[in-house]
Chains A and B, each alone.
Chain A
Amino acid sequence: MALFAVAFIAHAIEVAFSVRNLEEKTKFDFTRTKRSGDIGTVMIVLGFISLLVAVIFRSISAERVPWGNMYEFSITGALAFTGAYIFALWKYRIKWLGLPVAISVLLTLGTAITVLYVPSAPLVPALKSTWLVIHVSAAIISGGVFLLANCIAATYLILDRYEERGGRPGWALKLPSLESLDQLTYRLVALVFPLWTFAVIAGAIWAEAAWGRYWGWDPKETWAFITWVAYAAYLHARVTVGWRGRKAAWLCLFAGSTFLFNYVYVNIWGTGKHTYSGL
């Protein structure tokens, strides 16, 4: 029980950090944004660490890996998303994404700890398998990176709209060029597409061991397939003349929305073999 409490507190701290990051970044004056941007980044990293601690504590309190219900998926998903952001931050210049990342994580965690919270409980028998670690972690990590790519694609479309109409507004002047946004989206998707493919296949292998068939068009399987096909279409789009840039960005958003749909709708309202603890 004490472990729950610690997990809770770690969460609360994490949320608080994200809020501070938000505040730091709403300044237009570019001479001061560097400093507040750096503070924001530090906050996000600290937030990531405390969220990691929270997830670990949840894991200890439930005596298993923490992905068996919506609450746990949400906190792990937020962790993966933040992790993807930090990883991309290290490799590329995307500090400007800190604000939308912080807001999304805040919303996810907020929903998680208020609406989705369930006490730690053991897994149902069907989930007691090593595949849980492999399949679900691959899916969650892929999701984190896909959603990050989606944020960048969305930024592309917003800035594209502005540029078409005359020019970028003040707050957007220091953001990267459309070309590099497009490239970055592509690199992130290309990077994680093999992992997502693996997640789907690992799911199929596990399904064969647990349910007797490796593919049964169960709603979650179907939507994972749709997400896969949509991102495959995105990858094809980028090597098709006339589909780069704007159309590709829309395709990326569409693909990401199928992933979110899978997460929200199928888990809560779908009926099939993937609905377990009621939530």
Chain B
Amino acid sequence: MTTNTELDARSSIRWLWRQLTSMRTALILLLLLGVAAIPGSLFPQRTQNPLAVSDYFKSNPGTAKFLDQLQIFDVYSSPWFSAIYILLFVSLIGCVLPRTFEHLKGIRAIPSLTPKNLHRMEFHAEVSEGTLDSAEAWLRKNRFRIRRDAHSISAEKGYMRETGNLLFHLSLILILVGVALGSLYGMKGDAIINVGERFINTPTSYDVISFGKLQSEKNLNPFTITATNFRATYDLVTGAPSDYKLNANVANEIGSTEKSKVVRVNSPLTFGSTKVYLQANGYSPLVTVRDKTGEIKYQGAVIFLPQDGNLTSVGAIKVPDMQPQIGFIGSFTPTYERAEGGGAISSYPEVLDPRLLLSIWTGDLGLDSGAPQSVYRLDTSEMKRIGLKTLKLNETHDFGDGSITFEGWTPWVNLQIVSDPGKMYALLGSILAILGLLMSLFTRSRRIWIKEIQSKSGVEVAGLAKNAAPGLENEIASLVNKMKG
């Protein structure tokens, strides 16, 4: 007769589940998670640095396309990365929940019976002067939980260890909930405003904005921010920034009373659950472009993007209202210096000696083509260059079809507006996790037994330290000493 030792469907699923929730699987999944996170730090990621990703595509198009299919540029939102941490959490929940129920049941239970044979225990001694009563007194004083039988005592201490362990693992789940809430209901956006301008929290005011899947544009907190002054201070020797300070008038709604606030890098503005951070800053040169008759065709601040630590900035000025259309590719240097090789760079990030270098183009700006264009770059495919000029402050250059005046400059600030409704849960989860860790790793769980020796007076003492915790030897020595009197 042969016995069928293969598992049927139900048992197979049970077996799979046992495997999934085993320590070994947890270990392997943890390692996998760590290794899986590595590519995200070696390759540019779309969420962090989209420009670097497109640069990668430009320089290695074949590899980039292949990597993109593996979602190497979006590692942390990729299915394979998500699969690992989801499996890990399933394993965690599957292991921790039953253990929690077990623990809750056992938390009030008295220690189990004293084993018959104490000789094999980790620590074992015979104390001829000892009695059960003196042992019990010591155990009570040291806050052991005691089970006293006719001829023996079984004592246990260190239940907090398991409590801490479970608390830690359960709080990881809370962190996951916080992260999920934030990503579903949150929003994040960037907006650049010049000093003197007002930012109103509506979708159109943003340069970039994204919402969580369950969030919508209608729930934006309608505050306003008017930048009144921005000051960046730099170290005179190294040119490194030492402080950024933005003064702004803020109001909770258009029309309500404005309050004056200061925004710094480590102190954002708060409007309910939305926070506004000072992210970056730069310069916008102020220009006036006139046509041949002297009529103003363009006037205002044009945001230029910094290219280095000394805020050499580049940008484009587009004048679609002129016939033919005129465009400028510009470079703004707050403190002008001639670089080796003849180009112009800035030698210090504050505006001490500004110049505006322009190349002048005429033709079709391409704004009517329907395809989106960067406001910082000129599409010169349908244009012809007609001039090159470096302007000092208040200087005007006549380029034939018109003139351009470099009137001045204003700083701009890049504000990052973020709302993350889940972050408090994540924070609470983290704090509880640390508490749980401390409890679990620093609590020693051990058992001590004392049994009367049948043949003569005295007792035998034995102890067991769970998880090989240290210190048991000293404890038992102390107990023995107490019993000896």
What residues of chain A have their CB less than 8 Å away from a CB belonging to chain B?
121-126, 128-129, 131, 183, 187, 190-191, 193-194, 197-198, 201, 204-206, 208-219, 222-223, 225-226, 229-230, 232-233, 236-237, 239-240, 242-243, 251, 258, 266, 270-272, 277
Once the chains bind, are A126 and B265 in contact (CB under 8 Å)?
A: yes
| Chain B contacts for A215, CB-based, 8 A | 179
Interchain CB contact under 8 A, A128 and B24: no
Known: A217-B76, A266-B41, A277-B240. A209 touches B266 (CB 8 A): yes
Known contacts A209-B268, A226-B38, A266-B41; decide if A122 and B30 are in contact (CB<8 Å): no
Chain A hits for B235, CB < 8 A: 121-122
Q: Check A236 against B427 for contact (C-beta < 8 Å).
A: no
| Interchain CA distance A229-B29 in the complex, whole Å | 10
Is A125 a contact partner of B264 (Cβ separation < 8 A)? Answer: yes
Asked whether, in the complex, the Cβ of A217 is within 8 Å of the Cβ of B47, the reply is yes
Quick one: CB contact mask for B402-445 with A, threshold 8 Å, 1 for yes? 00000000000000101010010011001101100110010000
Contact B434 A243 (CB under 8 A): no
- A residues in contact with B265, CB < 8 Å: 125-126, 128, 210
Q: Are A236 and B237 in contact (CB under 8 A)?
A: no
Cα separation A108 to B76 with both chains bound (whole Å): 34
When distances are taken between beta carbons in the complex, the residues of chain B under 8 Å from A266 are: 41
Q: Which residue of A lies closest to B178 (CB)?
A: A214
Q: Are A216 and B47 in contact (CB under 8 A)?
A: yes
Residues A218 and B48 in contact in the complex (CB < 8 Å), given A212-B188, A229-B30, A236-B27: yes
Binds A, one of B210-218, B241-249, B322-330, B340-348: B241-249
| A217-B240 in contact given A183-B468, A230-B34 (Cβ < 8 Å) | no
Q: Complex formed: what's the CA distance from A209 to B437 in Å?
A: 25
Asked if B438 contacts A194 (CB within 8 A), the reply is yes
B31 touches A198 (CB 8 A): no
Task: List A contacts of B179 (CB < 8 A).
Answer: 215
Interface residue B380 (Cβ < 8 Å from any Cβ of A): no
Indicate if B60 sits at the interface (CB-CB under 8 A).
no
Chain B residues near A232 (CB-CB < 8 A): 30
Instruction: Let me know if B103 is at the binding interface, CB within 8 A.
Output: no
- Least distance between A234 CB and chain B CB atoms (Å): 9
The answer to whether B430 touches A236, judged by C-beta atoms less than 8 angstroms apart, is no
Q: Is the CB of B242 within 8 A of A194?
A: no
B12 to chain A, nearest CB (A): 23
Residues of chain A lying within 8 A (CB to CB) of residue B134:
none
Q: Flag if A270 contacts B277 (CB, 8 Å).
A: no
Q: Closest approach, in angstroms, between the C-beta of B135 and any C-beta of chain A?
A: 29
Q: Look across to chain A and name the residue whose beta carbon is closest to the beta carbon of B436.
A: A194
User: Which B residues form the contact surface with A (CB < 8 A)?
Assistant: 23-24, 26-27, 30-31, 33-35, 37-38, 40-41, 45, 47-49, 52, 75-76, 179, 188, 235, 237-238, 240-244, 264-268, 275, 277, 279, 416, 418, 420, 423, 426-427, 430-431, 433-434, 437-438, 441, 467-468, 470
CB pair B41–A197 under 8 Å, yes or no, is no
With a CB–CB cut-off of 8 A, which chain B residues contact A129?
Answer: 266
Interface pairs (15), CB distance under 8 Å: A126-B266, A201-B431, A211-B277, A214-B426, A216-B47, A217-B40, A222-B37, A225-B34, A226-B38, A230-B30, A240-B23, A240-B24, A243-B27, A266-B41, A272-B48
CA distance A121 to B33 in the complex (A): 39
- Check B30–A190 contact: CB distance below 8 A: no
Which residues from A are CB-within-8-Å of B48?
216-218, 272
A residues less than 8 Å from B38 (CB atoms) = 222, 226
Residues in chain B near residue A242, CB distance under 8 A: 24
Going nearest first, the 5 A-B pairs with the smallest beta carbon separation are A233-B30, A229-B34, A219-B41, A222-B41, A212-B418
Q: Which A residues are in CB contact (< 8 Å) with B47?
A: 216-217
Chain A residues lying within 8 Å of B268, measured Cβ to Cβ, are 209, 212
Query: A243 vs B23: C-alpha distance in the bound complex, in angstroms?
Result: 10
CB distance from B2 to the nearest CB of A (A): 32
Contacts of A251 in B (CB 8 A): 31
Is B279 within 8 A of A212, CB to CB? yes
* Given A129-B266, A213-B188, A233 and B430 contact (CB-CB distance below 8 Å): no
**Residue in chain A with minimal CB distance to B266:** A129
CA A161 – CA B306 in complex, angstroms? 57
Q: How far is the CA of A216 from the CA of B47 in the complex (A)?
A: 8
In the complex formed, the residue of A with least CB distance to B35 is A226
Chain B neighbourhood of A206, CB < 8 A: 266
C-alpha spacing A219/B44, complex, angstroms: 10
Cβ–Cβ < 8 Å partners of B45 in chain A: 217
The distance in angstroms between the C-alpha atoms of A129 and B268, with both chains bound, is 13
Enumerate chain B residues within 8 angstroms of A233, measured Cβ to Cβ: 27, 30-31, 34
Check A122–B242 contact: CB distance below 8 A: yes
Q: Which single member of A124, A218, A271 contacts B242 (CB below 8 Å)?
A: A124
Q: Say yes or no: B241 contacts A125, CB within 8 Å.
A: yes
B241 partner, pick from A124, A194, A205, beta carbons under 8 A: A124
Q: Of B31, B420, B427, B437, which is within 8 A of A197 by CB?
A: B437
Which of A201, A218, A223 has most B Cβ within 10 Å? A201
**Contact between A237 and B34, CB atoms less than 8 A apart:** no
Q: How far is the CA of A191 from the CA of B420 in the complex (A)?
A: 33
**Beyond known contacts A123-B242, A183-B468: 6 more, CB 8 A cutoff:** A122-B240, A126-B265, A201-B430, A208-B423, A213-B418, A214-B423
Shortest Cβ distance from residue A189 to the other chain B in the assembled complex, whole angstroms: 10
Contacts of B264 in A (CB 8 A): 125
Give A131 Cβ to nearest chain B Cβ, in Å.
Answer: 8
CA distance A258 to B30 in the complex (A): 14
Contact of A190 among B23, B35, B241, B441 (CB under 8 A): B441
Given A191-B441, A216-B48, also A125-B34 (CB < 8 A): no
Task: Find the B residue at minimum CB distance from A213.
Answer: B418
Q: A209-B266, A210-B277 are in contact. Are A236 and B426 (CB under 8 A)?
A: no
With the chains together, A204 CA to B429 CA distance in Å? 13
In angstroms, Cα B24 to Cα A239, docked, is 9
Q: A183-B468, A194-B441 are in contact. Are A212 and B277 (CB under 8 A)?
A: yes
A232–B470 alpha-carbon span in the complex (Å):
21
Closest to A126 in B: B265
Would A225 and B418 count as touching, CB distance under 8 A? Answer: no
Nearest residue, chain A, Cβ from B433: A197
Name the residue of chain A whose CB is nearest to the CB of B42: A219
Please tell me if the beta carbons of B427 and A205 are within 8 angstroms of each other in the complex: yes
By beta carbon, the residue of chain B nearest A221 is B41
A168 to B240, CA, bound (A): 55
Contact partners of B431 in chain A: CB under 8 A: 201
- Nearest-CB residue, chain B, relative to A122: B242
Please, which residues of chain A bring their CB within 8 A of the CB of B426? 214
A204-B430 contact in complex given A217-B48, A218-B48, C-beta closer than 8 Å:
yes
